[in-house]
């Protein structure tokens, strides 16, 4: 067995059994066959071998899922459950995710290529944390009383107030880079607000979404509240976005697809939340603690194999320390151990697919053609898995595609700056605005950069720290709205005003 291909003997019995199943859609609390006969092959990215198949849901299947969600919202037991009861079943679901953590983590690793340590820590443990945090908001959604004037009715006496109601049926469209955790990010605030959900996992990574629906039923979440339709974005996903029975679309993915969703939703006046692409800058000032900044800059891009919407893919370093910082980052890149996700010694696994591998290699080639220098990496492994070596590009210019476009792989572009003004100018010279970080010991400079960065999330002397209590979202082409935090719950409610004549 190659060190680069997953050793399936390491899998537990539960994940082996699930991989071997004939996978079905989850609609109305049941596992059902698709009305069509098309299927989607699921490939282990570490070997290029098919490990399972799921249905390509048809328009009729999407109709059935949305109708099931609508029925659960309006006439099923979910509509009558009190806030504390919603909180209780969400807590139970969190417990079940943890109890089935080995299976979920293994399925995620085989399906996506990610490291087993990451799928256990993020997709299992952080998902449970998000559900527990969000469950607390179920009993705290509230309106307010308003003492209105109505001066055109001088003799009137009124009692006025606002309430918040579930926004309705939510289409949760999930990306392939952190599949289970992102599915929970879509599901948790919707359940908290009393909504029902149709999840559409990414085409190559649907397995944990199917298991999540099963666990939701086991937790006591009524049939039809959580539905899952699998298939392609252009087919299944497009049907779901356009469906007139969907009230809100919560999407994480590419900016190009997000724009199509926004245009479709606008015609129907649907609400939407879009967490899109990024090209996040990491700025290292001359007074930074380099013992911390150098490894942080490396792992800001190489963590999760560079497949992270807020990956620190642009590194800007003060000219006085540029060579030292880049030498340190490149040394870390060269030392990273590539291997299969199930191997606990692996530090970086394969990209999600051969198509993604080729996309990343094409960007590296484009950088070379435009004059960038490959300091390290820049190539694939001679292996059937979709591996790309950690890559650092220097001698880059702002006009290059590798600087301006999201690569979504382990490719770092680096450039020098002379002063604060140039650093901020370079950092903000992007169509994206999801994340940004500054490394410095100067408190006044910290505040200037927090104010100056055109990004939705700013980190100081740390990178990519997320929490369920903190809203996460971007500006510019990085999207609209927020995941996580109180705001994500409120975004799944509809505000209603009422006036009573006394």
Q: At 437, is the secondary structure helix, strand, or coil?
A: strand
Query: How far apart (Å, rounded) are the C-alpha atoms in residues 52 and 111?
Result: 9
Q: CA-based Rg of the chain, rounded to a whole angstrom?
A: 24
Please pick, among 181, 195, 309, 310, the residue that the annotation labels catalytic.
309
Give catalytic status of residue 309 as yes or no: yes
Tokens of 267: 């015609």
Residues in the chain: 502
The enclosing H or E element of 199 equals strand 196-200
Alpha helices in 194-309 (DSSP H): 207-219, 238-242, 255-268, 290-302
User: Which residues lie closer than 8 Å to 428 by C-beta, 6 or more apart?
Assistant: 452, 453, 454
Alpha-carbon gap, residue 62 to 236, rounded angstroms: 7
13-20 and 101-112 helices, crossing angle to 10°: 50
What single-letter DSSP state applies at residue 148? -
Does residue 160 contact residue 148 with C-beta atoms inside 8 Å? yes
User: b/e for 66-81, b at 16 or more Cβ within 10 A?
Assistant: bbbbbbbbeebebeeb
Which ranges of 290-353 does DSSP label H, i.e. alpha helix?
290-302, 322-335
List, in order, residues 6 or more apart from 267 with CB less than 8 Å away.
none
Q: Is 298 exposed, middle or buried (0-12, 13-18, 19+ CB in 10 A)?
A: buried
Of 479, 25, 438, 99, nearest in space to 262 by CA: 479
What is the token pair recorded at 174? 């999930």
Contact (CB, 8 A) for 333 and 392: yes
Give the residue among 320, 301, 480, 457 at the shortest CA–CA distance from 391. Answer: 301
**102 closest CA partner among 201, 187, 211, 228:** 211
> CB-side exposure of 321: number of CA atoms within 13 Å?
21
Which one is catalytic: 103, 106, 108, 275? 275
Neighbours of 480 (CB within 10 A): 15
Confirm whether 486 is a catalytic residue: no
Cα gap 22→1, rounded to integer Å: 27
As beta bridge partners, residue 274 has 251, 480
> What are the residue numbers of the active site?
275, 309
């Amino acid at each position: 067995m190659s060190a680069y291909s997953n050793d399936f003997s390491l899998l537990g019995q539960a994940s082996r059994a699930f991989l071997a199943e004939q996978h079905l859609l989850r609609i109305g609390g049941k596992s059902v066959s698709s009305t069509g006969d098309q299927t989607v092959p699921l490939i282990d990215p570490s070997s290029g071998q098919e490990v399972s198949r799921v249905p390509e849901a048809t328009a009729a299947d999407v109709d059935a899922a949305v109708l099931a969600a609508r029925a659960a919202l309006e006439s099923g037991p979910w509509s009558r459950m009190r806030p504390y009861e919603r909180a209780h079943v969400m807590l139970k679901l969190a417990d079940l995710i943890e109890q089935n953590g080995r299976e979920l983590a293994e399925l995620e690793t085989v399906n996506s290529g990610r490291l087993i340590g990451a799928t256990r820590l993020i997709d299992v443990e952080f998902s449970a944390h998000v559900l527990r945090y969000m469950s607390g908001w179920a009993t705290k959604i509230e309106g307010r009383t308003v003492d209105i004037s109505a001066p055109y009715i001088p003799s009137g006496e009124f009692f006025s107030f606002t309430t918040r109601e579930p926004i309705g049926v939510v289409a949760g469209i999930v990306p392939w880079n952190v599949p289970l955790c992102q599915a929970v990010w879509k599901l948790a605030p919707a359940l908290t607000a009393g909504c029902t959900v149709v999840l559409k996992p990414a085409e190559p990574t649907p397995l944990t979404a199917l298991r999540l629906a099963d666990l939701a039923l086991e937790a006591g979440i009524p049939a039809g509240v959580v539905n899952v339709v699998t298939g392609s974005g252009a087919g299944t996903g497009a049907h779901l976005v356009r469906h007139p029975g969907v009230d809100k679309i919560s999407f994480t993915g590419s900016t190009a697809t997000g724009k199509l969703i926004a245009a479709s939703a606008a015609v129907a006046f649907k609400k939407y939340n879009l967490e899109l692409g990024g090209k996040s800058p990491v700025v290292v000032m001359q007074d930074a603690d380099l013992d911390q900044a150098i490894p942080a800059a490396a792992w800001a891009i190489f963590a999760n194999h560079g497949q992270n919407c807020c990956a620190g893919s642009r590194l800007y370093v003060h000219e006085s320390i540029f060579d030292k910082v880049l030498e340190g980052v490149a040394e870390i890149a060269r030392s990273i151990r590539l291997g299969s996700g199930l191997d606990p010694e692996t530090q970086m696994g394969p990209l999600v697919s051969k198509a993604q591998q080729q996309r990343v290699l094409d960007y590296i080639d484009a950088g070379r053609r435009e004059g960038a220098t490959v300091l390290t990496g820049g190539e694939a492994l001679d292996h059937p898995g979709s591996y790309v070596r950690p890559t650092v590009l220097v001698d880059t210019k702002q006009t290059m595609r590798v600087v301006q476009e999201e690569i979504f792989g382990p490719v770092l572009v680096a450039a020098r700056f002379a002063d604060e003004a140039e650093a901020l100018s370079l950092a903000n010279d992007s169509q994206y605005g999801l994340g940004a970080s500054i490394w410095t010991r100067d408190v006044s400079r910290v505040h200037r950069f927090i104010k100056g960065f055109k990004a939705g999330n700013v980190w100081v002397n740390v990178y990519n720290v997320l929490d369920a209590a903190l809203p996460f979202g971007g500006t510019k082409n990085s999207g609209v709205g927020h995941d996580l935090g109180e705001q994500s719950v409120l975004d799944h409610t509809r505000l209603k005003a009422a006036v009573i004549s006394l």
